[in-house]
Structure formats: structure tokens, C-alpha cells
Amino acid sequence: MQQSARALPPLDFDGLRPPSPFVTEQHALWCARVRDFVTREIEPNLSAWEASGTFPDSLYESAARAGLLGMGFPEAVGGNTENADPYYRVIFSEEMHRPGAGVVFADLATHWIGLPPVVQFGGQELLDTVARPVLAGKRRIAFAVTEPSGGSDAGALRTTAERRDDHWLVNGSKTLISGALRADYILTAVRTGAAGAGGISLLLIDAASAGIERRIVPGLRWYNSSIGSIEFRDVRVPGNRLIGPENKGFAGLAKQFNIERLSGIAATLAMSRTALAEAIAWAQKREAFGKKLVEHQALRHKLVDAVRSIRAAYAYLDQCIWRLQRGENVVADIAMLKVQATRTLERVGREAMHVLGQHAYDGSNRVERIYREARIFAIGGGTEEILDDLAARQLGIF
């Protein structure tokens, strides 16, 4: 029997997330908290931030006051381990991307990848002077791996750190670093040993050190002028700023990349939902050739195809998180799902733009912006070829 349309959830942002057996009431409360913050502090300002090209530093402290920055970090450094399961991170990323605020997220959450190694390996002094202020929103940290000579082959990076008595001497350059211009600290991947992945270490560098020059990356037309390049010229870094074992930094990088990929998956699926919800609402009211767009079979098939892709990706995401929580190795699946999720966004974004027609460009919705951002997610956090190769190795294909 055909179900009444009224019994179905609306195909809005929430209705497009298929129900999950793993999402609890606690997760729903967290979702409400993040959504409240985004609705109050971010959404009303997005147009103004886009026009000015940036957003205020005070947003970090507001986010900390709302209990968002410390998510998953130990209480001893001002964090909150109650919300340590991966769904909290996924929900945070989804809610930040619901209005298409990917750029704000990229800066605001960069401590997710920059801070954990400092918390794990830094001594008490770094916990007090770096981790605590970052989680309180008073200081900022960036994570710098990519270099002008390449980002995919992280094991080939060229920035060097030479040991000199009680300090390191750093020379080289990084580029496309999220939050580089706002950062007080830069967790930097440097070459301390022989060529290859086995010669890489992590150094925590004060961004104000002599010999550091930071510049905006001009080609990136996001409304955040904080993504930048960093030059290091004979920068002296105290010996105790080595984070983790010397020449074993590559393993630390890999761990952080997984966190980045999980956030990217959540981001792209959330943006897919926003774009599709707009397209469905428009297709249900817009008329062409005397009938609603949804009454044209070719267009409603596009919408169904988009719903199918989103549901399939979420089923895979739920399964990955379930396995992650059981302690399984899901590196290959997270890599494959990141590719699938970004492809979903590219496809859904394209079709949503298509259905909206001129409406996509009249400034009344965020689909055009989401469509522009889609490609970035297919590059940052590992490109398709790199992730497919990673999956092939993990799966034992070669």
C-alpha cells in the first residue's frame, strides 16, 4: 500500500540523514548545542564575512565558551572526554557545514589535527602554555605538512630541521596551510633524518619566531584570508619542541590524516543534504511547460539518484564508525568512503545547481557556494588517487 506523504519525514536537511541505529539521545543533544551555536554565531554573519574576506578571532573564544572546542580532548587540559566517540566529531562537522560554512570550520577545527600530538607527547609546560589556551580559544594552532613541491607525497617533504646544541634550525616552506595567518603555533612536519618517510619529525614552532614569513595564498577565493604559505629562514626552535620521537613523525601524520578524512566525509555529506534539500524544495514549486519540475520524470530521477547516493554513503559511514568503535582497522574504508563522499557531493551539487537553474545564481541560497567548495574536499585530506592507493595497500590488493 502506498504510504501517505504526510507520514514521511520532510526531505529537508534533517530528513535527508537516514536514521542510524547508533545515534543516541546524547548525540542529539550535542547536535542541538552545535546547531544553536552555528545558528546564532555563524549563519547570520556569513554574507558579511564573505564580503570582508575573513571572520573575527573572537569566534574561537565563543566556540570555547559554548563547550565546542574541547570536544574529545582530556579534561586535564580543558577538554571534554564525554564526547569522545566519533559521532560527536561527525555531528560537529555536519552542523558546521549545514549552512555551507566550510571555511570557518577549516580554521576553527584545525586544532583537531594540530593539537593531539602535542597533548600526547608534549610535557607539562606545553600542556599549560599551548594546549590549554588553544582549547580555551585564546590561542590558535595550525598543522603544516604540504609544501610548494608537493603534498601527496608527504614522505618527500623538504623543509629541514638541523640539530644545533640546544635548538633546531629550520629552513624551508609550507603552503595551503589552514589557519596559517591566525596561528600562534605551527605543528610542522620537518626532515630531521634521511630521505623518505623514516626521516620526518614533528616540531611545534612559535609562529612569531624570527625568520618566519606568512602570506595569504591568493588563488583561494574563500572568505577566510587565513589560509597561507609559510617561509622558514634559519628559524631557531628550542630542543624541547620536538613532538614525539625523532624521525618517527610520519606515523603521527597518518593518524591525524584519518581524523581529517572523517571530518571531510561528514562535511561533504552534510553539504550534499543542504544542496539537495534546496533543489527538492525548488523542484516541488517551480513550474516549466505547465507543470512542476518534479512532474518531469528526468528531473525527479536526478533527485532520487541524489537521495540514493547520500543514503548509501551514510550507511557506509555508520558501519565504519561502528567498526572503529570496536577497535577495528578501518583505514582503508575511511579512505574509500572519503572518495565516495566527495564524489557524492560533486554529483549532488551539480544536479542541485542544474535543478535550480537561474535560481542557483540569484544569491538566495547556498548551493552555488557549496558547489564551488566541493572540489576542495576532493583534494584536501588526500586526493582520490592517493586514497585509492592507500586502500589498495591496506586491503592487500598490491
Binding site for ligand FAD (CB under 6 A): 143-146, 150-152, 176-178, 227, 376, 379-380, 383, 385-386
CA dihedral defined by 284, 285, 286, 292, rounded to 10 degrees? 60
Write down the H helix ranges in the chain.
25-37, 46-52, 58-65, 86-97, 102-108, 111-114, 116-121, 124-126, 132-135, 249-285, 297-325, 331-356, 367-379, 384-395
Q: How far is the CB of 313 from ligand FAD (least distance, A)?
A: 21
In whole angstroms, what is the distance from residue 232 CA to residue 219 CA? 21
In whole angstroms, what is the distance from residue 311 CA to residue 317 CA? 10
Q: Which is nearer to ligand FAD, 63 or 177 (CB)?
A: 177
Q: Which is nearer to ligand FAD, 280 or 378 (CB)?
A: 378
**Residue of 338, 335, 342 whose CA lies nearest to 271:** 342
Question: What single-letter DSSP state applies at residue 42?
Answer: I
Q: Which is nearer to ligand FAD, 152 or 225 (CB)?
A: 152
Q: Which is nearer to ligand FAD, 147 or 368 (CB)?
A: 147
Q: How far is the CB of 164 from ligand FAD (least distance, A)?
A: 25
**Residue of 18, 48, 5 whose CA lies nearest to 272:** 18
Half-sphere exposure of 369 (CA within 13 A, CB side): 21
Q: Which is nearer to ligand FAD, 152 or 284 (CB)?
A: 152
In the complex, residue closest to ligand FAD by CB: 151
Compute how many other C-beta atoms are within 10 angstroms of the C-beta atom of residue 52: 12
First-to-final CA distance of the chain: 50
Q: How far is the CB of 71 from ligand FAD (least distance, A)?
A: 19
In whole angstroms, what is the distance from residue 192 CA to residue 87 CA? 36
Q: How far is the CB of 1 from ligand FAD (least distance, A)?
A: 49
Q: How far is the CB of 16 from ligand FAD (least distance, A)?
A: 25
Q: How far is the CB of 217 from ligand FAD (least distance, A)?
A: 9
Q: Which is nearer to ligand FAD, 17 or 139 (CB)?
A: 139
